[in-house]
Amino acid sequence: MENMDEAVLKELAEKGEIANSLEFMKAHKFEPKTFDGILKSLLVDNYVVLTNHDLEEIDLTEEGAKAIASGSPEFRLVSMFKPGEEKTRADLAKLMAKDELQIAVNKAMQNKWISSSKTAVKRVAEDVKDEVVQRLTAMKADNDPKKHEAKLVQELKKRKLIAIKKIKFYGIVKGASYQPKRVPEVADLTAEMLSKGTWEGVKFKKFNVAAKGKEISTGNYHPLYQMKDEFRSILLELGFEEMPTSYYVDSSFWDFDALYTAQQHPARDMQDTFFLTEPANCNRIPKELCENVKRAHEGGSYGSIGYRYDWKMDEAKKNVMRTHTTPCSARMLYELAQTTAKTGVFTPKKYFSIDRVFRNEATDVTHLFEFHQVEGMIADYNLSLKNLMGIIAEFFKRLGISDIKFKPAYNPYTEPSMEIFGYNQELKRIVEIGNSGIFRPEMLQALGLPEKVSVIAWGLSLERPAMIHYKVGNIRDLIGHQVPLKFMKTNPVFCLP
């Protein structure tokens, strides 16, 4: 096979230019893709300069080719009549296929070749000439649409007898580094070239710094987890320690009872909570703690009158998918109380966690039955609501949310309780971003903490700020099995302001 580089360079040496790359390619029987590659590489090395051209060509359709071979439908129809002859419509239907017959009758009428009534068709013209075929033949002979009357081209195109094809080609002239023969470029400088001095005569390939690297297919860190890491660093910087949270299944005792949530509380309904069927119950609840919690609920201890009902162990034993991470905080406080009792010394603590929680609720674009909760708490003497508001403001300030507002709220385990609101730039309105409060003495003292110790705490979802940050309108695009892989692969590394 003829060398493509050489053929192009030789033609340029002889004629100065190649006006139409396509014709040149056809004349030399070059394969289009390879030839295009060769042209691009000659262009990159400045051997040639390419100019883009567009060209339109008439292409006969299958229908058009058929017409040339056996006549246009109208001509074939009329040819089946003698001049003056009449045929009924029923007879006509036997002559041609329905679609074709309709076109043929319409066109023959337009040409005044036939006249038609409701029931019959009559040939009225003596001589008929198949002009459509004449035109198609002319277009086949010269397929440049500009050489034919535009109206005729349009008409035949409309009848789908021809199509207009767009052809792209190049004009080729010599480039700044043109040479009649291509000097092969060498990619690597070798020790031999250096020792023999042959490097001097060699043309080296230029580095193509604009070349795209190979796409690397790797695992990607999920954007939600990038956000989790950012939250984590902020809390670590603020001096919080991470709590263990790695149990998704917990007893109702820790999820509700230890958090001073009455056994009739609506949150403990099947509508809101996933209860486990296997194993349905937990049998590892500390006995003494159980007694304390029972007393707190029923009343008459820790300076409280309680809820005044019969607390039932059976209810507390029921296993659930944890509905929040606050039971993890309760376990930590219980541990802290035990250490305090053992050592006689209470050590103030700041704890946080970020992990998954589960709720049995209807899903929509902002709700899923599993999501992440960010939980924080501080246990110390003399903590007030002011301390709680202060630490929350500082935490959100570091997240880039400065204008936060508090609204009184209710939680069974905190008093006072406050919902936290922040201004969302995207939505241009205030949205709820968290919940907080001071843990009730009924809860803390049942866990065994010294009377004077207070615990301030707050919790928020990880998904809500993440949706705002990544501009994700549907929570299912952020977490769960429907997350598009592209979202993970193309997301820039998340950085807080």
Distant-in-sequence contacts of 91-98, Cβ < 8 A, 24+ apart: 92/121
Select from 72, 226, 251, 411 the one that contacts ligand PHE (CB under 6 A).
Answer: 411
Name the one range near ligand PHE by CB under 6 A: 6-14, 175-183, 296-304, 430-438. 430-438
Alpha helices in 258-384 (DSSP H): 287-298, 313-317, 326-343
Residue 459 binds to ligand PHE (criterion: CB under 6 A): yes
Distant-in-sequence contacts of 180-183, Cβ < 8 A, 24+ apart: 180/9, 180/10, 180/13, 181/6, 181/9, 182/5, 182/6, 182/9, 182/42, 182/45, 182/47
Residue 245 binds to ligand PHE (criterion: CB under 6 A): no
Q: Could you tell me the smallest distance in angstroms from the CB atom of residue 236 to ligand PHE?
A: 19
Q: Which of residues 2-31 bind ligand PHE (CB under 6 A)?
A: none
Name the one range near ligand PHE by CB under 6 A: 15-23, 113-121, 344-352, 435-443. 435-443
**Cβ neighbours of 146 (radius 10 Å):** 9
| CA pair distance 86, 67, nearest whole angstrom | 25
| CA pair distance 349, 385, nearest whole angstrom | 17
| CA pair distance 425, 11, nearest whole angstrom | 64
Q: Which residue is nearest to ligand PHE (CB)?
A: 459
Cα 137 → chain centroid = 52
Residue 437 binds to ligand PHE (criterion: CB under 6 A): yes
Q: Could you tell me the smallest distance in angstroms from the CB atom of residue 312 to ligand PHE?
A: 23
Q: Could you tell me the smallest distance in angstroms from the CB atom of residue 408 to ligand PHE?
A: 13
Q: Could you tell me the smallest distance in angstroms from the CB atom of residue 398 to ligand PHE?
A: 19
Residue 454 binds to ligand PHE (criterion: CB under 6 A): no
Select from 457, 462, 466, 475 the one that contacts ligand PHE (CB under 6 A).
Answer: 457
Of the two residues 306 and 437, which places its CB atom closer to ligand PHE in the complex? 437
Instruction: Write the DSSP assignment of 447-479 as a string of letters.
Output: HT--TTEEEEEEEEESHHHHHHHHT-SSGGGTS
- Would you say 362 and 250 are in contact if contact means Cβ atoms under 8 Å apart? no
Select from 414, 463, 466, 467 the one that contacts ligand PHE (CB under 6 A).
Answer: 414
Q: Could you tell me the smallest distance in angstroms from the CB atom of residue 433 to ligand PHE?
A: 11
Select from 324, 349, 372, 464 the one that contacts ligand PHE (CB under 6 A).
Answer: 324
Of the two residues 77 and 433, which places its CB atom closer to ligand PHE in the complex? 433
Of the two residues 324 and 349, which places its CB atom closer to ligand PHE in the complex? 324
| CA pair distance 219, 240, nearest whole angstrom | 30
Residue 435 binds to ligand PHE (criterion: CB under 6 A): yes
Q: What are phi and psi of 131, to 5 degrees?
A: -65, -35
- Would you say 108 and 77 are in contact if contact means Cβ atoms under 8 Å apart? yes
| CA pair distance 243, 331, nearest whole angstrom | 10
| CA pair distance 157, 58, nearest whole angstrom | 9
Roughly what angle, to the nearest 10 degrees, separates helices 62-70 and 131-141? Answer: 120
- Would you say 21 and 172 are in contact if contact means Cβ atoms under 8 Å apart? yes
**SS3 label, residue 266:** helix
Site size toward ligand PHE, by CB under 6 A = 11
Closest-CA residue to 221 (of 495, 488, 497): 488
Name the one range near ligand PHE by CB under 6 A: 217-225, 292-300, 343-351, 455-463. 455-463
Nearest 10 degrees: CA dihedral of 255, 260, 264, 268? -20
Residue 292 binds to ligand PHE (criterion: CB under 6 A): no
Q: Could you tell me the smallest distance in angstroms from the CB atom of residue 387 to ligand PHE?
A: 14
Q: Could you tell me the smallest distance in angstroms from the CB atom of residue 461 to ligand PHE?
A: 8
Q: Could you tell me the smallest distance in angstroms from the CB atom of residue 332 to ligand PHE?
A: 12
Name the one range near ligand PHE by CB under 6 A: 278-286, 339-347, 456-464, 480-488. 456-464
| CA pair distance 451, 304, nearest whole angstrom | 13
Residue 145 binds to ligand PHE (criterion: CB under 6 A): no
Q: Could you tell me the smallest distance in angstroms from the CB atom of residue 257 to ligand PHE?
A: 14
Of the two residues 136 and 337, which places its CB atom closer to ligand PHE in the complex? 337
Name the one range near ligand PHE by CB under 6 A: 111-119, 265-273, 434-442, 467-475. 434-442
Select from 113, 254, 256, 458 the one that contacts ligand PHE (CB under 6 A).
Answer: 458
Q: Which residues make up the interface to ligand PHE (CB under 6 A)?
A: 324, 326, 375, 411, 414, 435-437, 457-459
